Structure 1
């Protein structure tokens, strides 16, 4: 009897439709991976796909195209997963269901440091981009958190949102001020700012791996406490959660993920917002499950958008940052029309 009760209690904590959701996401992810390898300016046949995947000694044109697309696909999956988890963390930290990393000025802080690096330090490599972007994202997040924590009530969701919006507006003006007098900076920054996974290579992937591993580990470690935070700061404090430390630590994970992805692929929008929101509508508010499923969903959305950009822009391509806005905005509008928005 006791074993039966324990089993029932464990099942009661499992989100509804969790198993079906995981299976569906894995199937969609596999389809997106195959589509990313097959479709583009040139469609690859089954023989070329098999040669590119399993026969490294074959040097046909189709096999070489598949090998190039493997790198792009892996890079796209990593960026999408990082942005999805970052969105889940930022929404949990701010207790705002429509928040994404830009809510704390993370994207714009990274952009400002990158444009200053291009303008004043003549940087051009991914290794230089990533450290500047993360530094800018961290400094901005700390600044926003400090402003939002002022006052007797501490860092409330509303104060964090307002501080982030105001900081983003200021940083956006500074980015424009740095670019306008410098034509060469404007051209280089313009291509980076659109957002693209086409420039991904093995060096960028290797550079990305430590940041995505550390960021996701932080997300998984803080997930149980973030569930308590969703009940409110007073309740979370009563349960033994140090809300200030938790927010700083979770925000650090989000900054690492978003800052690294932004540095390597540009400021791609809507992934963190859309992926987390879709997952929450399907499985509920448990952050322990939202984080890994947001990683899968973000990877699916970004890879699918990249494939669409290649097909729509053939023989060239549309940058994925443009496609995520076109795909994400209508879906988000549809979701908000059918779901009642509420604070976490």
Structure 2
């Protein structure tokens, strides 16, 4: 209930705060009794509401993705970047900018999604070689190697093409500005399927956390389950990254914070992580609009600035939960 209240409060603040602040009373009237002749109502419904919905969707997807990634790899610091998914999306966006001249979020949406899928498939292919198959350690190492390689390729392409650098630098830090239903709509079915499927992964992730031998002894098909969980992770990260860019630390920090209240049971971690991450992302987006007025920061910068010290504090206090 606290998380739901926080998410509702963050949503109302997201609708009220901007280059020109609007009262919460006007926000409520715009929602329940929209007046097409009122400029404040137009700003709320046509401009800020789509951005808020995108923030909720992206935040929920990243919160779930972080919990799923850590459960899949049994690695408490696993996140989409470590597994090579976000770097793969970034490389595909750069290719779209350089080779096809794509310059807007709606245009490079599918490039980012395809890049995330291809990078994940490559990580899985490398990690699954050998007798043991795709073990957590091999997945993590393969993801780190693919991530490093794709990041180097991105840097090389951006240095060679200055116009690509100008376009890419705004996407690469993660942003909700300029993201509306035109960006979210085409990929919303994938996002909805990924979120719903992830919420049913509690029991498989709990069994994987016990180790492959124990999970297999309890009747779990480890290889098939890991492949299914990896596919859901790719959908979550691919859609979120395609819409808003690679937003760092959110998927890493939120599952750790949630474990302080839920314990290690993924049947609770997953449903708690979604609203927690969505609320944090909206609060960060509101802060990004305030600290640099009349302009605004990219929300990815605010999340990183806040998330890094929070994660360090969790580690120093010994609260970075093990798996």
TM-score by length of 2: 0.94
How do 1:66-77 residues align onto structure 2 when only pairs under 5 Å count? 66-67=44-45, 68-77=47-56
Range moving further from structure 2, 117-126 or 309-318: 117-126
Given the alignment of the two structures, is residue 35 of structure 1 paired with residue 16 of structure 2, yes or no? Answer: no
- 1:238 is displaced (CA, Å) by 1.0
How do 1:163-182 residues align onto structure 2 when only pairs under 5 Å count? 163-182=142-161
For the residue of structure 2 that corresponds to 1:197, the secondary structure is coil
Structure 2 distance, partners of 1:297, 1:169, is 30
The structure 1 segments of at least 4 consecutive aligned residues displaced by more than 6 Å after TM superposition are none
- 1:341 is displaced (CA, Å) by 4.3
Structure 2 distance, partners of 1:110, 1:78, is 18
Whether the 8 Å contact between 2:56 and 2:278 is mirrored in structure 1 is yes
Whether the 8 Å contact between 1:271 and 1:324 is mirrored in structure 2 is yes
For the residue of structure 1 that corresponds to 2:195, the secondary structure is helix
Structure 2 distance, partners of 1:336, 1:272, is 16
Aligned to 1:3: none
Range moving further from structure 2, 83-92 or 139-148: 139-148
How do 1:137-156 residues align onto structure 2 when only pairs under 5 Å count? 137-156=116-135
Structure 2 distance, partners of 1:175, 1:264, is 19
- 1:125 is displaced (CA, Å) by 4.8
Q: 1:245 aligns with which of 220, 224, 245?
A: 224
1:108-162 alpha-carbon deviations (Å, 9 max, x no partner): 0011011111111223454542322222112211222232233444333232222
Range moving further from structure 2, 171-180 or 318-327: 171-180
Range moving further from structure 2, 286-295 or 229-238: 286-295
- 1:105 is displaced (CA, Å) by 0.2
Aligned to 2:313: 334
Structure 2 distance, partners of 1:124, 1:58, is 31
Q: 1:318 aligns with which of 263, 280, 297?
A: 297
For the residue of structure 1 that corresponds to 2:76, the secondary structure is coil
Residues 26, 46 of structure 1: alpha-carbon distance in 2 compared, 3 angstrom cutoff: closer
Whether the 8 Å contact between 1:106 and 1:258 is mirrored in structure 2 is yes
- 1:173 is displaced (CA, Å) by 0.6
Aligned to 2:166: 187
How do 1:211-230 residues align onto structure 2 when only pairs under 5 Å count? 211-230=190-209
Residues 49, 327 of structure 1: alpha-carbon distance in 2 compared, 3 angstrom cutoff: same
Whether the 8 Å contact between 1:222 and 1:246 is mirrored in structure 2 is no
1:225-260 alpha-carbon deviations (Å, 9 max, x no partner): 111000001111111212122112111111111111
Structure 2's unaligned 5+ residue stretches are: none
CA RMSD of aligned residues (A): 1.7
1:63-104 alpha-carbon deviations (Å, 9 max, x no partner): 222222111111111110011111111111101122111121
For the residue of structure 1 that corresponds to 2:254, the secondary structure is helix
Paired residue total: 322
How do 1:259-274 residues align onto structure 2 when only pairs under 5 Å count? 259-274=238-253
Whether the 8 Å contact between 1:199 and 1:265 is mirrored in structure 2 is no
1:9-47 alpha-carbon deviations (Å, 9 max, x no partner): xxxxxxxxxxxxxx1101111111111111222221244
Whether the 8 Å contact between 1:52 and 1:58 is mirrored in structure 2 is no
Whether the 8 Å contact between 2:64 and 2:270 is mirrored in structure 1 is yes
Aligned to 2:87: 108
- 1:286 is displaced (CA, Å) by 1.3
Structure 1 distance, partners of 2:319, 2:293, is 39
- 1:168 is displaced (CA, Å) by 0.9
Structure 1 distance, partners of 2:233, 2:281, is 18
Q: 1:55 aligns with which of 33, 46, 68?
A: 33
Whether the 8 Å contact between 2:184 and 2:243 is mirrored in structure 1 is no
Residues 306, 339 of structure 1: alpha-carbon distance in 2 compared, 3 angstrom cutoff: same
Residues 301, 323 of structure 1: alpha-carbon distance in 2 compared, 3 angstrom cutoff: same
TM-score by length of 1: 0.89
- 1:62 is displaced (CA, Å) by 2.2
Whether the 8 Å contact between 2:314 and 2:320 is mirrored in structure 1 is no
